Every structure is written in C-alpha cells, then in structure tokens.
Structure 1
Amino acid sequence: MKNKKTKVSGFRSKFFTGIISASLILLLATPALAASWTMEMKYATVSGKNNGQTYSLNAGTRTVTGQIWATNWNNNLTNTVSVGSVLYKSNPVLADSRIASTTSTVNKNGVKRNMEIKATGQAKGTYYLYFHKPNNQTTVKGSGTIK
C-alpha cells in the first residue's frame, strides 16, 4: 500500500509542477498589452498629464507608435508644421523625467505621418505623452499605442 501512495503522490507532484511550469511559460511569453492614446492640439501644447491620459507601465522597453495629421490648416505662410512628441515619466517629488522624443512634420493636405518613440531599460511607473507645435492655429490630431 505504501508503494501505491508514493506513486500517486509522485504523479500529483509532477502533474502540478507541469501545470505551474506551463502557466509561467505562457505568462512570460505573452507580450505586454498596449494602451491607446489620442490627442487633438489646437494651440501650442497638449499634455497627457494635464488631460488625465497617463499610463501605469511595468519595467521594460517603452514603445510609442501612432500617426499624426493636420485637420484644420490656418497658417497661410507655410505648407508644413513640425510637431514634437515627448514621452515623460511622472515623479512624485522631483520634476518629471523626459525619457525620449521625436518630431513629425505634418502637411496641410492632412496626410497621416507615422511616429515612433522607443526607450529601453525603463523603470516601472506612470508615463504620459506631451505634444508641442508652433501656436499657428493649425489643428493637429494623433492616435496610437503605448506600451
């Protein structure tokens, strides 16, 4: 009888170890889910922190992708506007940290321009996007994902 209990206990142990191992493999192999972002900028700046669009992210690589385009053109002096996109990390005590940035040029024809910001080795925390352009009354929109 003792041999049968040992075999059953050994089977249970191996069974549960297999289930736990498979669960960990699936958990680690699943990519981080991306959150979506949107913005509409009529004036010079838009801050995700001020607008409540912040993202609580685990440690790792930050990747921001999306598209930016002009929807209303009010500047007759130029055919393009440069739009800066900046990724910040909120800090509770010190000034927020500027992580990375990029610049996209939008045309008055409304063609969507791809943008990407990537930063490796980032700490767990709250992040947000900040956008800026000349205050020329041109309306710019954008949308994408952050992870």
Structure 2
Amino acid sequence: MGGAPKSPEKLFSIGLALLPAFIIFTLFYSVAVKFLERQLTFVQAVYISAVAVAVLIAVVVVFTLAKAPLGLGRDAESFVYLADYLLAGVIITRLAKSYGVEKAGWVGVGARANALILAFGWIVVGVVYLGSYLVKA
C-alpha cells in the first residue's frame, strides 16, 4: 500500500499541512542567519532560509512517500534526516556566498545556523523538562 498521493486534492492537503512548519522553520533559520551574518539584510536572510527549508521539507516529503514502497526501515530514516539537516546548511552557505558572505574558517554560515538552532532547541527542551519537573514537585 502507501505510495504517492493520486489526486491533486491530497497533494494540496499535504502542502497546506506543511505550511506552518515551513513558516516556523524559515523564521528560525532567518533569525539565525541574520544573527550570524550581520551584513545580510533580513529579507536576504528570509530568502536564503526559505529556499533551504523548502528543499528540506521536499526531501522529507519525498522520502516519506517513498519509504513504504521501497521498504526502507528506521536506519534509512535516520540517515536521510541527518543528510537533510546537513543539506540545509550547505544550501544556506552557498546562497549566502552569492550575497558576498565568505566562510569564516572551516564552517560556513549554514553550519553555524544549524548549530545555533540545535543548541536553542536543546535549551527549550531543557527548560520545558525542568519546568515540568518543578511543577510535579
């Protein structure tokens, strides 16, 4: 079973369901890119982030639709999500380069934005966990 949706209504439904994730991730990446590279305008950071997040979401959708027909398991899922995360960083770095942002050392702005978002996520999870622990006590 599974496979790709057969009707345009289902594709529209999937796109509409992913719109909030696209907006939220684009906003997070835009803030991270603008924070890390002050020479970019916020509109440039939004454009760079929107392209990277669109590719990120497209890869996740294609993989999700192809996972069942190809019989891919949990190991493939972890690999694809990690590769997709890294791909978003590469896209951000490449697009930022077109605006004159050079890599500062070994990593580019995309890798730094990914690290910043990951660290922020850990902080949020830690605060939520601590808050739930304190509420129970």
Band of TM-score, shorter chain: under 0.3
Compare CA radii of gyration and give the structure with the larger one.
1
Name the structure, 1 or 2, with higher relative contact order (CA <8 Å, separation 6+): 1
Name whichever structure is richer in helix by fraction: 2
Name whichever structure is richer in strand by fraction: 1
TM-score, length of structure 1 as denominator length: 0.23
TM-score, length of structure 2 as denominator length: 0.24
